């Protein structure tokens, strides 16, 4: 595929990102509406049913320190305990801040596929205590799986079908947008595209969305639009022993003089 053709496929996604961040939040142009409708038409290929009793995990930094001993351990006030299940759910609507998937004032339940992924998502420091809650689905959930790879082994070569590649590339961008790292200091506008897509999926009858984790290669995240469909059954307390960062050079090195000579277009 030529570079020009590749950009033509990527361009509708870029226009959507630019439109919702800088032009309109709630009413889309006819062109953007058509693009979003095409996304909705392909969600059926990525529909996944999560069965009742399926287990997921949710982490929160912190531990419970009792003010006085409780039965049956008279020394229980001397060491930390897991936070209670009542503290492991999403915040109430009146204090819910906008997140990667939920708009401000609307609470969704963020879960992870493993304890390790859940702990990594809250980014604790060494020696911090982290409580991990085990959540069990109390009913089947129909979700959109943004991680689902639809290309078979026979299609690993150059994809000849234009529409098929367009579909693949669009969902690759969607999965990246949901999972890309966003720091607490970043502009909250970065959340607008994923918040809008989540509302689109919810209004189409889906119960949640699954996307890759930016801090775990093997794990994934799940957001459920109705927090009541999963119940915290138990909590476990962990202490962070080590944090490992693996990095590689990009090959770009600039001296102080070179930086001062920069000329911007």
Q: What residues does 143 pair with on adjacent strands?
A: 48, 208
Low-confidence stretches of the chain (pLDDT < 50) are: 1-7, 151-157, 160
The answer to the question of residue 68 being in a domain is yes
The answer to the question of residue 166 being in a domain is no
Q: What is the CATH number of the domain that holds 104?
A: 3.90.228
**What is the C-alpha to C-alpha distance for residues 144 and 170, in angstroms, rounded to an integer?**
14
The answer to the question of residue 28 being in a domain is no
The answer to the question of residue 136 being in a domain is yes
3-state DSSP of 185-210: CCCHHHHHHHHHHHHHHHHCCCCEEE
**What is the C-alpha to C-alpha distance for residues 37 and 32, in angstroms, rounded to an integer?**
9
Burial of 44: CB neighbours in 10 Å, binned 0-12, 13-18, 19+: exposed
User: Which pLDDT does position 71 carry in this prediction?
Assistant: 64
Residue-number span of the structural domain to which 127 is assigned:
46-157+171-243
The answer to the question of residue 34 being in a domain is no
| Of the candidates 133, 138, 120, 137, the residue with the CA atom closest to the CA atom of residue 86 | 133
Domain count across the chain: 1
Reported as a single tens digit per residue, the pLDDT across 3-40 is 444 445 578 888 999 999 999 988 899 999 999 999 99
User: Which pLDDT does position 5 carry in this prediction?
Assistant: 44
């Amino acid at each position: 595929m030529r570079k020009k053709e590749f950009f033509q496929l990527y361009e509708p996604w870029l226009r959507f990102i630019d439109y919702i961040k800088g032009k309109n939040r709630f009413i889309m142009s006819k062109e953007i509406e058509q693009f979003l409708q095409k996304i909705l038409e392909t969600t059926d290929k990525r529909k996944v049913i999560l069965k009742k009793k399926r287990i997921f995990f949710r982490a929160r930094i912190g531990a419970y320190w009792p003010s006085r001993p409780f039965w049956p351990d008279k020394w229980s006030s001397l060491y930390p305990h897991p936070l209670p299940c009542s503290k492991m759910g999403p915040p109430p609507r009146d204090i819910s801040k906008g997140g990667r998937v939920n708009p401000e004032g609307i609470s969704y339940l963020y879960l992870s596929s493993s304890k390790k992924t859940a702990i990594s998502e809250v980014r604790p420091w060494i020696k911090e205590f982290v409580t991990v809650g085990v959540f069990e689905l109390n009913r089947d959930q129909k979700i959109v799986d943004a991680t689902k790879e639809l290309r078979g082994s026979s299609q690993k070569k150059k994809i000849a079908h234009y529409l098929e590649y367009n579909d693949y590339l669009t969902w690759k961008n969607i999965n990246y947008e949901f999972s890309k790292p966003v720091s607490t200091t970043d502009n909250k506008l970065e959340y607008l595209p994923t918040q809008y897509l989540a509302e689109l999926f919810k209004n189409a009858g889906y119960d949640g969305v699954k996307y890759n984790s930016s801090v775990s290669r093997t794990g994934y995240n799940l957001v459920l639009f109705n927090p009541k469909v999963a119940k915290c059954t138990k909590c476990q307390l962990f202490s962070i022993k080590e944090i490992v960062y693996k990095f590689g050079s990009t090959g770009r090195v600039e001296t102080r003089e070179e930086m001062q000579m920069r000329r911007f277009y």
